[in-house]
Structure 1
Amino acid sequence: MQKQQETLMKKLKRCRVYGPVAYIYAAANTGSWRLERPRVDFKACVKCGTCEKYCPANVIDVKKDQAECVQIDFNYCKGCGICANECPKKCISMIPERSEG
């Protein structure tokens, strides 16, 4: 078995990369096509960080020392509603994007 692995490793060639390769991936502004956006009731929020943990786009920051503790970057929020579904206190609600609330 050892001999087979050694011969296989000798046969494998290293791949060469010709040209530039992206190793840092930047997110595109995706907030323009969102249909619903999250709204946080700051009085009911217990600052547990569950919404931040489950956000697939990683656009939620929970600042425990501020009055408006949950900060959402709406330029990149997809409006998926996972934060509202996972909130244990149900203090996040999804509202239509064009509403004034």
Structure 2
Amino acid sequence: MGSHTLPFENRWTNGAHAWEWHCELERLGAANVRAMFSDHETHHGAEPVVVFDIPAGFVRDWLAFHDRRAAHQQFWWRASVIALSSVAAGAAIVAAVR
């Protein structure tokens, strides 16, 4: 099995251990992890782990990565909608002028 690299900066662990944590969080999904992290921060803030043996800092970095990725996808979605709308408006103006 080849080594995997995380798609975000990680200062909590390295190698296979970090990849296992990443895969576990991906399996749970961002919404579930966010709810678990919120519960952890609200009720169990003194405990060092959030999900199984994953530290709170790693979960925080993972959630920040997902937030940045979602914002990036939303930006490109909006940009493509604006571009296509501009093309359609331009075509409508050209058709109206003829």
Which of the five TM-score ranges fits, normalised by the shorter chain?
A: under 0.3
More strand by share: 1
TM-score (norm 2): 0.23
More helix by share: 2
Q: Report the structure number with the largest CA radius of gyration.
A: 1
> More relative contact order in 1 or in 2 (CA 8 Å, sep 6+)?
1
TM-score (norm 1): 0.23
